[in-house]
Amino acid sequence: MRVEVNADKCIGSGACVIACPEVFSQDEGGVVILLDGSPPPLVHERVREAVRACPAEVITVGEESS
């Protein structure tokens, strides 16, 4: 899995951090910070949950072939 964020469009809701704090954080202004662009399989479903929860739709996920 490959994860990318568009921090310029982030509205700071924090939904991604709630869904998957291993992969997402926020800076002092509430803007998303991507902690791990290639997260382990153990958290993939929570990353997908973060994508669904993001009201600004700034998280994109690409599936990598094994």
> How sure is the predictor about 65, in pLDDT bands with cuts at 50, 70 and 90?
low
Q: What is the pLDDT of residue 11?
A: 98
As for how many domains the chain has, the answer is 1
Q: Which domain holds residue 20?
A: 2-62
What CATH number is associated with residue 52? 3.30.70.20
CA distance 15 to 59: 11
The full length of the chain comes to 66
Would residue 43 be called left, alpha or beta, if left means φ above 0 and alpha means ψ between -120 and 50 degrees? Answer: alpha
The model's pLDDT over 21-63, given as tens digits with 9 standing for 90+, comes to: 999 999 999 999 999 999 999 999 999 999 999 999 999 999 8
**Residue 4's pLDDT band (boundaries 50, 70, 90)?**
very high
Question: Is the confidence at residue 66, as pLDDT, over 60?
Answer: no
Q: What span, in angstroms and rounded, lies between the C-alpha atoms of 38 and 40?
A: 7
45, 50, 52, 55 from 30: Cα distances, Å: 23, 15, 19, 14
pTM tops 0.85? yes
